[in-house]
Structure 1
Amino acid sequence: MRRLFLLALLCMASVTYAQKGSISGIVKDSSINKNIALATISVFKAKDTSIVTYRLSDEDGRFKVPGLPLNEALRCVITYSGYEAFRKEFTLTENLQDITFENIFMISTSMELDEVVITAERPPVTIKNDTIEFNANSFKTLPNALVEDLLKKLPGVFVDKEGNISVNGKPVNRIMVDGKNFFGSDPKMASRNLPANIIDKVQVTDDKEELERNADNNLANVGKVVNITLKKGIKKGIFGKLYAGGGSDDRFEGGGIVNMFRDTLQISLLGYANNLNKTGFTYGELMQAGGLSRSMGNLNSTSTSTSMSSSGGSNITVNGVNFGGMHRGGGISTSKGAGININHSPNNKQSIFGQYFFGNIKVDQWRKSNTKQFNEDTIVTQDNITNANIISNAHNIGLGTKLKPDSVTTIIANATYTLGLQDEIRHTGINSYHNILGELSNGSIDQNNVNNIYNYSHYFTVTRLPKRKAGGRFTFTHGLDASNTRSDFTTNSLTNILYPLLLDSTLQQLRLERIPRTNIYGALVFRLPLNKNFALTASSRYDYNKLNNKVNTFDADADKKYNQLNPLLSNTFNREFHRSNNYLGLQYIYKKLTITPSLTALWQQYDNRLLSLDNSIKKSQFNLLPGLGIVFKELNLNYNKDVSLPAYTNLIPALNNTNPYYLTNGNPNLKPAERDNFRINYYHNNSKKNLNISLYATGSLTKNDVIQSIVVDKSGIQTSTPVNADGSKNATVNYNINKQYKYNSKFTLSWNAGGWYGLYKNKLLYNGETSWQNNFNLEHWAGVNFNFNDKVEWNNDISLSNYQSKFTSSNFSTLKTNQKSVSTEVILRMPKHIIWEAVLQYENNGNVPSGLPKDVTRLSMAVNFTMLKDEKGVLKLSVWDLLNQNNSIGLTTNRNIISATQTNVLGRYFMATFTYNIRQIGANKKKVGGSGIFGY
C-alpha cells in the first residue's frame, strides 16, 4: 500500500511540475468585431496532427491554453460553427514559454464546420447552437475501452461507480445511437457494452421530451440526451457474459447475461445462482445487458430498491422481483433467478417491449439485538436473539409501448403483473431487564409468517404540443393499480413475567389479514404561453381509492386448531377515498428569471367503515392551498402547502400482538395532517474548471402530525397508539462538491466532498409524560481518486456520521451515537493480461453496548488473468475478508431508545471464477477491476 501511495504521488508530481508553456488571445467576428464565446481552441502536434490539448473561449472571447510542450512544432486550430477555421503554427521554447495572439478574427461562412476543417484536425469539442459535439478520435482510450471509458475523458462529463452519467451536472436520461432510441431509454446499456473504438462522434443536447413533460418550461430542470454516431458497418451483434466459480466453505456462483441486437431488435436473456449473499448481477448489469432500464424507459414510474452493505451483501428489487442478495434483516442468502426481455424499435417513432423475470432467495438469518429505553434514572433493556429461515419467490411480467405518431404527439402505455410469495419461520428468545429492579421477564416466540402479494398495474399517457404556440403542451394521464395482500401469521409464545407479579403467559394464535386495494387516477396538465413574458399552467387530477382490510385472529383450542375467533383482536376496515386536485399557476418569465404564484383547490372525501363501530366515519374537506415557485438561473425556490390523510394502517383499531413484547394499535379518529413545505435547490457548474457544486434544502411545518403514544408497563411490555400532535418541524440540507483535474490525456485527479444535515422536532409521549424531542443528524463524506492512464487507479473515501436526540423534559437524557468509515481501493492493470486489486475498509461504531465489536477491518483482494482471443476470458482469484474480521453492527436512535443489532455475515472465503465475455461487434474486452469485482 505504501509503495502504491508513493507511485501515485510521483505520477502526479511528474505531470504537475514538468516545464510547460501556454498560448492566449481573443476570438472575434471579423465583420462586426464581436467577441465569440465558446469557440474551440485546439492544439495539435504539427508532425502527425495528434491532439495535445484544447480549451473553450470564455464569454468575452478570451482564451488561454496552458500545459503545452516546449521545443516541439505545434499547430493551433480555432473553430466555431458557421466560421472558417483559423490555423497558426508555433513553437514554444525555454526563452519563449508564453505567446499571445492578441485578436483573432474569424470569417463567417455558410458551410458546415466539417466541410471547412481538415479531417485530421477536427476539433475535440464543437458548440452548435444548443448541442455540444465531441470528436471521439481526439480522446485516446485503451484498445479495450468502452463508451463509458470514453465519456469519462470528456470535459464536463462525470460517470460514477454505478455508471450513472451526468453532463455539466445534469443527468443523462438516455443514449441514442445514430439518432434513434437504439437502446430504449437506458444510458448504461450503451455506455457499458459498446466499445469506444466504434464511435465517431458524441453529441450532447437538452432532453426536449422531458421538457415537454415539465410544466415550468425551464431548461435548467431537465436532463441531457447523448447521441452516439457510429462508424460505418456497426449495426448488429451480440454481447454479454457467462461466468462460473467455486470456493471454500462450499461457496459458488454462476450465471449468464446475453444481449442480442440486429438493427432495431434487442433480446436479453439472463440467469444466475449463488450463495454469496449478493445478487447474480450488479444493478448496472441488470440495467444494461439485462435490458431492465431499456424496458422501464417506457414506464412512468417503477418500484426499484437497491441496498449494499460493507459487511458483504447487496440486494436489488425491481417491481416486486427480488434479484437475490441479502435480506433486509440481514443473514446469508442463496439466490437464483432467470428472465427474458425483448425490445423492438423499428424507428424513432415506435418502441414496444415485453419482459418476464423470476427471482428466488433463501435466507439463513441469525440476529442479536440490544435495545435500551431511557426514562429519568431508569433504563429498560431488552436482549433478543432470533434465528430465521426465509424463502421468497417473485414473478414479474410486463408489456409496453412508446409511440410518436407525429412530431407533436407522444403516447406511452404499459401494463405489469407481479406475484410475490414469502414464507418465514423464526424463533426469538427475549430477556427484559430493569437497571434497578433487575430482570423483568423472559420468554420465547415461535412464528410462521406467510405473506403473498398479487399486483396488477397499467399506465397510459398522451402528450400533445401545439404547432403554433412554442412552449405550450397538453398531457393526459391515466393509471390503475390493483393489488391483494394475503398474510397468515402464526404465533406461539411463552412469556415468563417476573415483575411486579410472577406470571406465565402463553399465546397460540393465527392472525389472518386480507387487503384488496384498488387505486385509479386520471390527470390533465397543460401549459399555454400568453405572450413573451407570461404563461398559464394548470392541472387537474382525480384519484379514487378503495381498500378493504380484514383482520381475523383465531386462538388455538385444546386440539391446537385455530378455530376460536378472538373479537378483541379482529376487525374489518373499509375505506373509499376521493381526491380532486386542481392547480392553477401564472408564470412570469424575464430572461433567466421565472416567478410562478399558484393556487391549488384540494377536495378530499373519505368514508371509513369499521366492523366494531355502528356508524361509518365520513368526512369531506376542501382547502385552498397557496404556492410560489422562483427560478433564477440554477437557483430554484419553492413553497407549497398540502393536506394529507393518515395512512390506513394507523386507523385500524385492532390490537396487533404478534410480538407480545411490542403491541400496536390503530386510531380511527386521526385527523389529516397539514404541512407547509419549503424547498431550495441550487446547482453551479463551471465546465472550464470541471467544478460542480449542488445544494438541496427542505423544510416543513406540520399541524396534526401523526406520532406514536408509547406506554411501557412495569413488566417492560410496550404498547404504541398513533395520535395527532401539532408543532412538528423538520429541516434538511444536502450539499455536494465535485472537482476534476485532467492534467493531460493520461492523468486524472478528482475529489468530492459533501454533507447531509437533518433537524427534526416533534413531540414524545411516553407513559403520560410529554416532551419535545430534537433530533440532529450530521453526516459528512469526502473522496479523492487518482487515475493514471487506466493503468493505476487509487480511490479513497471517508464518511463520518453523528446522531443526537435532545429532550426538553429532564426525565429523558440526551442520546448520542456516531459512526466512522474509511476505505481505500487500489487497482493495477500491469503487466499485460494481469489486473491486481485490493479494497481495505475500516468501520467504527460508537456507543455500541459491551459485548459487541466497535471496530471492523476488512481486507479483500483479487488478481485477474485475461486470456483467449481479444482477452475475452477472465480468471479471477479472490479472497473476501482476508483478515477474517467481518462483522455487521447496526446502531440507531429513535425517541428515547438506542438500538444495536448484530447479524450473521459471510466470513473469509476464497473464490476462483472464470468469466467469458461475449463480444461480436468489433469490441475488445470490458475493463476489469474495481469495487464491483466483489459485487458489494
Structure 2
Amino acid sequence: MKKLLLSLTFSLIIFSLFAQKNGSITGILADSANHKTTLNYATISVYKVGDSALATYKLSDDKGVFKINGLATDVKYRLVVTAWQYGTFRKEVELSTANPSLNLGTLYLSTKANDLNEVVISAERPPVIVRKDTIEFNAESFKTLPSAVVEDLLKKLPGVAIAADGSIQVNGKSVSKILVDGKEFFGGDQQIATKNLPANIIDKVQVVDDKQAKRRAPDLTEAEIPQIINLKLKKAIKKGAFGKLYAGGGLKDLYQAGGLMNFFRDTTQVSVLAYGNNINQPGFNPSDVQRIGGFNRSGINSMMMSSGGYFEFNGINFGGSNDGVQTSSGGGFNFNTINKKGIKFNTQYFFGKSNNLLEKLSNNNQTLGTDRLITNANENTASIILKHNIGGKLDWQIDSLTQLTIEPSIVLNSNNSISKVSSNNSNVNNQLINALENLNDRNSSSNKYQLRADFNKDFKKPGRSLNLGADISASPNPVNNYNKSTSIFYLTPSTSEIDQLRQNSIDNFRSYLYGNYAEPISKKLKFKADINGNIINSENALSTFYRNPANQLYDIVVPNLSQTVKQNGFKTNTNISLGYKVTKDFYLQPGLVHNYISLNNRFTNGAAVDQRYHFMWPTFQLTYKIFRFNYTASFTEPNVSYLQPVADNTNALYIRNGNPNLLPARRQSLSMYMYKYDPKNLINYNLYGYGNFTKNGIINTVTINNGVQTVNPINMSGIYNFQGGANVSKDFRKDKTSLKVGMGFWANFDHTPVIVNNIQSNANVFYVGPNGSIRLNLNDKVEINQSYYINLNRSKYDDSFYTNISYNTHQSTSELIIRYPKKVVFETSYALTINEQKIAGFNNNIKIWNAGLTYLFMKNDRAQLKFSVNDILQSNVRRNIQIIGNSVIDAQSNNLGRYGMLTLTYNIQNFGQKVGGRQTFFSF
C-alpha cells in the first residue's frame, strides 16, 4: 500500500504539471452553405507563425465544437482547419496575457469545388484527416525518437491503444490486420510491421473498417467492426531478412537459448524458430511468435494466455509455466506466399516438448451444517508433453466482391504423466475420517483433424450479401490410465485397495455448417436470415481391467466398469429478422429463432435414449448511438462424457458418476455494450454486461458417506449468471511527457442450485473487482506503471445447512523502466498478492520481485547483454482460491524461485526496437 500511495502522490504531482494555466482557443465549425450543419471530427492544426512545425492540434467533437488548451500567450499562431469534402480554412490569431482565452465563435467552411485541383501546402499537412470511412494520420506530425518503431508511432496517435501483448485498438475497435501500401505485409500480420519497421519510413497511417469481418458477421454493430491499419511508406520494403538469436546461462545449470529468423522477398516469406530452456519461461514472448513466428499470418483459431508467462496458440505450448518446474523446447517453420493471381498460401509446422515437475498443496473446505468436510491433499506430478501442429491456409480474392478461404490443420498431442497424491478428509473437530494414497500413470492423446472453409459474396446492390461456411473436425482422444490406490477409513476401521487399468477412448466428430444472407428492402428496412447446423457423432468407449495376480498383467475384464456410449444427431438454429433504421442513430432488429435438436444415445448394455426437442423464441437487437443490446436463445447438448454411466473411481474418495438420461440445456442469452472515445478530452470509457438463463442445465449432486463423495450430474432449471464491468481512462499529454490514468471494475454473479446429501439450496456467488492504474512516460527515458486490484468474493445460501463464505484478495503490480544513460536499460517489477483466506502452511502474502539490467552495443543496438534476477525475495510459490458450490478451494503450487541469468541477444537487421517493458522482460 505504501508503494501505491507513493506512486499516486508522484502521479498527482505530474498531473499538476499538465494542469498549469495556459492560453486557449475555442470555436464551432459549420457548413457555410446552410449555417446549420456542424462539422464533426474536423482537424484544427496549430502552428507558430513562421514555423512549419506543428505546435498542437485537436479534433472537433460530434457537435463541431473544439477547444485547444496549453497555448502560450503573446505568441502568434496560425490555425489550419481541415475537414473531409471541405476546403481548408486558415486564420492567424494571438493570445495576450490579459486575455489568454479566445473564442472564435462559429467558423464557416465551404465545400470543395474539385478535389483534383486542390493545392496542398506541404508545410501545412494536417495531422489527422477524418473521411467517411477512413482516418488518416500524417506520421511527420507525431514526433518519435530516432530509434522508434511503428508501434511507438501508433502509441502517439489519438484513440490508438496498444495492450501489453501488442494487440491494437483504435477508438475501442480491435485491429484485425496490418497492410503496407494497401497490400498484406507478411499476410497482414498485426505486429511484424509495428514491432520491426522504423517509424521514420512511414508517411501516413490510415485506419479503415474490416469489410471482410462485416461480411462474415453481418450483425456486427459499428462499435464491433474490427479495423485495418494501412501503413503508407515513404519507400516500400521489397526484400530483406531479420530476426534474433539468444543464449543465456545461470547457476544451478539453468539455461535458455533460441532463435527466430525471417526471410522475405517480394511476396514470399519464410519464418524459422527454435528454443529451449529450463527456467519456466516461454521460448519467445507471444508477440514474437505471432509476428516473427508467423501465427498471425496463418491465423490464430485458439489462444490461451496467463499472467505468469504461459501461453498457447492453436494448442501449441511454447514453453512457460505458472506452476511447478519446467524444461521446454520446440521448433518449427512458417511459409507464406502469394501467386500472380493474388491467391495467398500458408503452411506451417511446429513442435513443442515440455517436462514438468509439479508439487501442489490444496485445501477444500466444505460447509455441512454444524459439520465440515475438510480435504487436504499433497500432489506430486511428473509429466512429459509432446505437441505437433501442421496447418495451412488458402485465401483467394476471386474478384472485388467474392472471397474464398480454406484452412486445414492437424494437431497431435500426447501427455504422459505420473501423479502421486496423498490426501485425507477430516471433520469440523479436526478428527481424521479417512486417508488415501493414490498413484496414476496416465498416457493420453488429444488429437484433432480440422478443415475450415468460408465463402463470402457481396453483390452490386449495396447491402446485399451472402456468406457460406463449414467447420469440420474429428478428435480421437485415447487414454490409458494405470490406477493404484489404498484407502484407509478411521471412524469405521477398514481398508480398501484398487489396482486397475482404465482404457478410455473418446472420439468426437463435428460438422458445423452455416450461412447468412442479407437483403435490403428499402433504405430503412433490411431482411436477414442466419442458418447453421451441427452434425454430431461422438463415442465414449471405456474398458476397465484388474491386474491378474498370476501373470501381473491387466487382463481381467470388469464388466460393471466397462461401457460404450455413442451419441449421434444434429441440431439447427434458424434466425429470421428484420432490421429497421428508425433514425440515423437508432436501429432495431426484432427476429424469431427456431432451434431444433435430435440426439440418439446408444449403450452397449442395450439401453437407448432418443431425444427430440425444438422451440421458437423471439430475438431482439437494439442499437442507439454507442449502445448495443442483444437477446437470443439456443440449445446445448450434454457432453458425451457426462452420459457415460460407468463411475470414474480413479480417486477412491471422490467418485464421479455419469447420467445417460441427461437432457439438452435451453439457454437464453442477453448482452449489452457501450463504448465512447472523446477526442476533445482524450477520454475512453466503456460499459459491458452479459447474462444467461438456463433451463435443464447440468449441476452435480453430491452424497457424502464416511468422507467419500459421490457425484451425480442431473438437469436443473433456475440457473442464471451475469457478468459485466466498466472502464474509463484519460490521457494527459504535454511535450514529450504522457500520463494515462485508468480505473474500472468487473463483477460476476452466479445463481446455481447446490445439492449435498439431498439438502438443496441456491448458491449465490458474487465476485467484484475494482481496479485502478497509472502509466507515466517521460520522453521514453523513464516509464512508471502502477496497477492495483481488489477481488471481493462472497457466497450466500438459502438453507442454513450451508455457511456463507467471504474472502478478499489484493493484487498490486509496480513497474519501473529507466533508459538512461544511453545504451543502458534498467527495469524492475514488483507484484504483491495478499490473500485474506488464511490457512496454516499456505503463503498468504506472495511477493514477486524481478529486476534486469541491459547493455546495448554494436551498430543500431543489435547486440544486447542482459543480467536479470527472477523472484529476488524467494517467494517460490503461486496460489489460487475459488468458490465452487459450498466449497472454498485453495491451491498452492511450487515455482522455480530465485535465479540469476546472463543472456546475450543478437538482432539480425534490427530496426531499433525499444528495449524494456513487460514484453521483453524475461522473454528474449
Alignment TM class, shorter chain as reference: over 0.9
Q: Distance in 2 between matches of 1:277 and 1:422?
A: 18
The aligned residue for residue 395 of structure 2 is 402
| Pair 1:727-2:715 in alignment | no
Match of 2:916 among 893, 904, 928: 928
Match of 1:293 among 269, 293, 296: 296
The aligned residue for residue 532 of structure 2 is 541
Deviations along 1:158-188, whole A, 9 cap, x unmatched? 1111111111111111111101122324322
The aligned residue for residue 832 of structure 2 is 842
Instruction: Tell me by how many angstroms 1:546 deviates.
Output: 0.9
Q: Could you tell me the percent identity over the aligned residues?
A: 33
Deviations along 1:289-336, whole A, 9 cap, x unmatched? 111011107xxxx12211223xxxx22222222111116xx2111111
Structure 1: unaligned runs, 5 residues or longer: none
Greater Cα offset, 522-531 or 186-195: 186-195
Match of 2:128 among 108, 117, 125: 125
| Pair 1:386-2:393 in alignment | no
- Asked if structure 2 preserves the Cα contact closer than 8 Å seen for 1:70 and 1:94, the reply is yes
| Pair 1:263-2:256 in alignment | no
Deviations along 1:832-885, whole A, 9 cap, x unmatched? 111111111111111231221211222211111111001111111111122223
Match of 1:116 among 116, 119, 134: 119
Q: Distance in 2 between matches of 1:572 and 1:269?
A: 44
- Asked if structure 1 preserves the Cα contact closer than 8 Å seen for 2:281 and 2:922, the reply is no
| Pair 1:796-2:786 in alignment | yes
Q: Distance in 1 between matches of 2:279 and 2:558?
A: 44
**What is the SS of the residue equivalent to 1:221?**
coil
Listed as ranges, the matches of 1:711-790 within 5 Å are 711-714=703-706, 716-742=707-733, 744-790=734-780
Q: Distance in 1 between matches of 2:524 and 2:614?
A: 33
Structure 2: unaligned runs, 5 residues or longer: none
Q: Distance in 1 between matches of 2:117 and 2:882?
A: 60
**What is the SS of the residue equivalent to 1:65?**
strand
- Asked if structure 1 preserves the Cα contact closer than 8 Å seen for 2:271 and 2:333, the reply is yes
- Asked if structure 2 preserves the Cα contact closer than 8 Å seen for 1:41 and 1:76, the reply is yes
- Asked if structure 1 preserves the Cα contact closer than 8 Å seen for 2:59 and 2:679, the reply is no
The aligned residue for residue 424 of structure 1 is 417
| Pair 1:246-2:238 in alignment | no
Q: Distance in 2 between matches of 1:10 and 1:246?
A: 42
The aligned residue for residue 374 of structure 1 is 367
Instruction: Tell me by how many angstroms 1:453 deviates.
Output: 2.1
Q: Distance in 2 between matches of 1:217 and 1:347?
A: 33
Match of 2:166 among 138, 145, 163: 163
TM-score relative to the length of structure 2: 0.96
| 1:738–1:851 CA distance, 2 compared to 1 (3 A) | same
| Pair 1:62-2:65 in alignment | yes
Deviations along 1:643-701, whole A, 9 cap, x unmatched? 32222111110111111111101011112222222222222221222222212212222
TM-score relative to the length of structure 1: 0.94
The aligned residue for residue 863 of structure 1 is 853
Q: Distance in 2 between matches of 1:540 and 1:587?
A: 17
- Asked if structure 2 preserves the Cα contact closer than 8 Å seen for 1:861 and 1:880, the reply is yes
Instruction: Tell me by how many angstroms 1:822 deviates.
Output: 0.8
Q: Distance in 1 between matches of 2:10 and 2:611?
A: 71
| Pair 1:460-2:453 in alignment | yes
| Pair 1:654-2:646 in alignment | yes
| Pair 1:179-2:200 in alignment | no
Deviations along 1:1-27, whole A, 9 cap, x unmatched? 89998876665544442x522233343
Greater Cα offset, 393-402 or 248-257: 248-257
Instruction: Tell me by how many angstroms 1:547 deviates.
Output: 1.3
The aligned residue for residue 684 of structure 1 is 676
Match of 2:597 among 591, 604, 624: 604
| 1:62–1:709 CA distance, 2 compared to 1 (3 A) | closer
Q: Distance in 2 between matches of 1:283 and 1:147?
A: 18
Corresponding letter in the other structure for 2:307: M
Instruction: Tell me by how many angstroms 1:415 deviates.
Output: 0.1
Instruction: Tell me by how many angstroms 1:39 deviates.
Output: 2.4
Q: Distance in 1 between matches of 2:828 and 2:117?
A: 46
- Asked if structure 1 preserves the Cα contact closer than 8 Å seen for 2:436 and 2:653, the reply is no
Q: Distance in 2 between matches of 1:105 and 1:811?
A: 73
| Pair 1:153-2:141 in alignment | no
- Asked if structure 2 preserves the Cα contact closer than 8 Å seen for 1:827 and 1:930, the reply is no
Instruction: Tell me by how many angstroms 1:713 deviates.
Output: 0.9
Listed as ranges, the matches of 1:691-706 within 5 Å are 691-706=683-698
| 1:217–1:454 CA distance, 2 compared to 1 (3 A) | closer
Corresponding letter in the other structure for 1:257: L
Listed as ranges, the matches of 1:598-677 within 5 Å are 598-612=591-605, 614-677=606-669
Corresponding letter in the other structure for 2:125: R
| 1:881–1:87 CA distance, 2 compared to 1 (3 A) | same
- Asked if structure 2 preserves the Cα contact closer than 8 Å seen for 1:83 and 1:113, the reply is no
Q: Distance in 2 between matches of 1:856 and 1:514?
A: 41
Q: Distance in 1 between matches of 2:106 and 2:424?
A: 83
Q: Distance in 1 between matches of 2:6 and 2:365?
A: 46
- Asked if structure 2 preserves the Cα contact closer than 8 Å seen for 1:85 and 1:117, the reply is no
Deviations along 1:566-615, whole A, 9 cap, x unmatched? 11211111111111222211111222222122112222111111112x24
Deviations along 1:759-799, whole A, 9 cap, x unmatched? 21121111121122111111222111111111111100011
The aligned residue for residue 492 of structure 1 is 484
| 1:509–1:123 CA distance, 2 compared to 1 (3 A) | same
| Pair 1:520-2:511 in alignment | yes
Q: Distance in 1 between matches of 2:357 and 2:781?
A: 41
**What is the SS of the residue equivalent to 1:325?**
coil
The aligned residue for residue 822 of structure 2 is 832
Q: Distance in 2 between matches of 1:68 and 1:290?
A: 46
- Asked if structure 2 preserves the Cα contact closer than 8 Å seen for 1:168 and 1:687, the reply is no
| 1:600–1:59 CA distance, 2 compared to 1 (3 A) | closer
Q: Distance in 2 between matches of 1:418 and 1:323?
A: 14
Match of 1:320 among 312, 315, 321: 315
Match of 2:285 among 282, 301, 309: 282
Greater Cα offset, 152-161 or 590-599: 590-599
Q: Distance in 2 between matches of 1:898 and 1:41?
A: 57
The aligned residue for residue 562 of structure 2 is 570
Match of 1:883 among 862, 873, 878: 873
Corresponding letter in the other structure for 2:357: D
Deviations along 1:197-237, whole A, 9 cap, x unmatched? 11000011122222222323643331211111011243322
Q: Distance in 2 between matches of 1:83 and 1:671?
A: 63
Q: Distance in 1 between matches of 2:10 and 2:50?
A: 32
Corresponding letter in the other structure for 1:362: N
Greater Cα offset, 386-395 or 673-682: 673-682
Q: Distance in 1 between matches of 2:331 and 2:211?
A: 36
Instruction: Tell me by how many angstroms 1:426 deviates.
Output: 1.3
| 1:768–1:601 CA distance, 2 compared to 1 (3 A) | same
RMSD across aligned positions (CA): 2.2
- Asked if structure 2 preserves the Cα contact closer than 8 Å seen for 1:80 and 1:126, the reply is yes
Q: Distance in 2 between matches of 1:754 and 1:4?
A: 18
Corresponding letter in the other structure for 1:433: S
- Asked if structure 2 preserves the Cα contact closer than 8 Å seen for 1:25 and 1:63, the reply is yes
Corresponding letter in the other structure for 1:899: I
